[in-house]
Amino acid sequence: MVEYSLKKFAQLLFTVFGVVTLVFFTLRFIPGDAASAMAGDAISGEALELLREQMGLNAPLLSQYLIYIKGLVTFDFGVTITTRLPVADLLLRALPVTLSIAVLTIVLTVALSIPLGTLAALMAHRGQNGLDNLITGTAMVLDLMPSFWTALVFLLIFSLTLGWFPASGTVSFDAPMDFLKRIALPVLVLSVTQMATMARITRTAVLEVLSEDYVRTARAMGWSEMRVLFRHALKNASLPIVTVIGLSFGNLLNGTVIVEFIFTIPGIGNLLINGINSRDYQMVQTLIVFYALLFVGINFITDIVYRALDPRVKF
Amino acid sequence: MTQNTINTPASPGMAAPATAWLLRMGKGRFLGNRKARLALVILVPILLLTAFAPLLPLQAPLETNLRAMMQPPSLAHPFGTDRMGRDILARTLSGVQISLFVGLSVALLALVSGMILGTLAGFLGGIVDRTVMSIVDIFLAFPSLLLAIGLVAVMGTGVVPVILAIALADVPRFIRLQRSLVLSLRSRAFIDAARTVKARKSWLMSRHILPNTVAPMLVAASIAAANAILVEASLSFLGLGIMPPVPSLGNIIRDGQTYLEQAWWISTLPGVVILAIAISFHFLSDGVREALDPRSRQ
């Protein structure tokens, strides 16, 4: 176990190093350079030269790279070009917002998709394909709806027409109830687009278990349907579900960018889009690296948890 | 099998036998497949409308009409009009053209480069394999939309950067799939059989391994096309993809966001079209898989 984790961790470090290097050199490929791209047509000549100097673009590439790596390791990501605030501070302020959305989405997705997936499997097992097809079909359509469109449709129905959720307002942890109300709709939108995969996995896993001999034995022993379901089917289905939670985390991060943009929620996704629009490469560079780290970190943890849970996997 | 081989022109390489095989095996079963037919029922009308959009009695996509601003759907404007009196259906159909172009270009780019690099990695092994696969791992460390966003931030907006950005985010998955297909085929019995009769490596590759990777890669490509259409729409919606005034499904929906309450049709109706295209590509990939895989008979 420990040996496997260490080996995986070494691989992780290598990938992280690759990510950091790739992002650095990609940004150096901007036509012209980051300073002139950032300034646009606004400044030229000496002022541009000064900006270059400030951004450290006049130093040799290797030393720029080393400064960048040192900055990442010491959590000093530089300052934004527009507001001159430290990028690290902005990131730390936005992160809890995005993470709350992500965690609540995972909770709601699990709460919605496991009962639906199990129900679909039960129906399919009994040969009642009508309800099974309805659930499976709906899940597929929800999965293929572009998340930004789903968000607008939900906004139109639940906020603007029915008035159940506020469409705008400040987002602050000081007022937890307001905060929850504000992120409720984004979380609902993300869960709806995420639940398809998990419902499908649950359905397959439960359906497979239901036709096992030991389930027939349990039924023959007079166990109630519920007991069979919980003791055997769901217990065995839990492993693939854990894996899916981990694997769909990348999709979830993609989705948070979209909903933060639509619902103007001050998370890291909004920071990223604003960063790109104001050509703030310091910010964009840091955030892209950060998203990648978050993603590979979660994948690493999922892998380890999966191996720890599954008695069949030997180290 | 034999009479078909006679009809096949004797062109060199793997392309001819593979395509002939695909057509021979695929056509009847593809059209006989329920999902494939459903996909065509959705896709063909959209394609026809898109192709013949200029002949329809609609305004041109960029034409404004200040006397018909924010009109709800009607016979003259089936999808309504926007704040400048532009016809949403005409704009949507023009956007579909770009969407399909982006989707097919990305699928083709990812398919071809994935097949080449994946085959090299899987067949040569050793240092080539390790190098290619560590680069693949690095690219897969980014959530896909975020990688595309990052790349567009560097390359700029427009159709070509969008295609390149989405394709770059997709290629690693295709390399990985092709490599795993090549590796698993290499250890199959029919390859051993060919080896025992002293088949050359190039023969094994072109006659036995590559043709067998085509079907799963095509399935992956049609999913990638659907996905690319969704990603392009997302990028354009975020204002990082195809920029106005050129209409794309994403930027039409973005335009309508401001007027969601007064003019719901601007944002919602083009989205239905994206959804319909995505669903049809999804069924198409299921149809291709079921038609080409002899083991998955219905």
- Range with lowest mean pLDDT among A209-223, B87-101, B209-223: A209-223
Q: What is the pLDDT of residue A31?
A: 63
Q: Is the Cβ of A160 closer than 8 Å to some Cβ of chain B? A: yes
Between A80 and B19, the higher pLDDT residue: A80
CB-based contact A156 B142, cutoff 8 Å: no
The share of chain A scoring above pLDDT 90, in percent, equals 21
Q: What is the pTM of this model?
A: 0.86
| Per-position DSSP letters for A217-276, written without gaps between them | HHHHTT--HHHHIIIIIIHHHHHHHHHHHHHTHHHHHHHHHHHHHHTT--SHHHHHHHHH
Q: How far is A194 from chain B (nearest CA, A)?
A: 15
Q: Count chain A–chain B contacts defined by CB atoms under 8 A.
A: 122
pLDDT confidence bin for B5, thresholds 50/70/90: very low
User: Average pLDDT for residues A133-155, to the nearest whole number?
Assistant: 89
- Residue A311 phi, psi dihedral angles, 5° rounding: -70, -20
Residue B61: its H or E element: none
Average pLDDT over residues A27-47: 69
* pLDDT tens track for B147-182: 999 999 888 889 999 999 999 999 999 999 999 999
Q: Is the pLDDT of residue B103 over 80?
A: yes
- What is the pLDDT confidence band of residue B9, given thresholds at 50, 70 and 90? very low
B27-31, B40-44, B194-198: which has the minimum mean pLDDT? Answer: B27-31
pLDDT average, residue stretch B185-214: 83
Of the candidates A278, A309, A259, A312, the one whose C-alpha atom is nearest the C-alpha of residue A102 is A259
This complex has an ipTM of: 0.86
* B173 interaction partners in chain A (CB closer than 8 Å): none
> Could you say which residues from 211 to 270 on chain B have a Cβ atom under 8 Å away from some Cβ of chain A?
226, 230, 233-234, 237-240, 250, 253, 256-257, 260-261, 264, 267-268
Tell me which chain B residues have a C-beta less than 8 angstroms from the C-beta of A16.
Answer: 141
| Token pair of A74 as six digits | 């010491």
Q: Is the Cβ pair A146, B274 closer than 8 Å?
A: yes
For residue B228, which of B269, B288, B277, B272 has the smallest C-alpha distance?
B277
CA pair distance A261, B237, nearest whole angstrom: 10
Residues in chain A: 315
Nearest to A251 by CA among A110, A102, A115, A141: A102
Q: Contact B260/A155, CB-based, under 8 Å?
A: yes
How many of the other CB atoms lie within 10 Å of CB of A241?
A: 18
pLDDT of A102 strictly over 90: yes
Asked if pLDDT for residue B99 goes beyond 60, the answer is yes
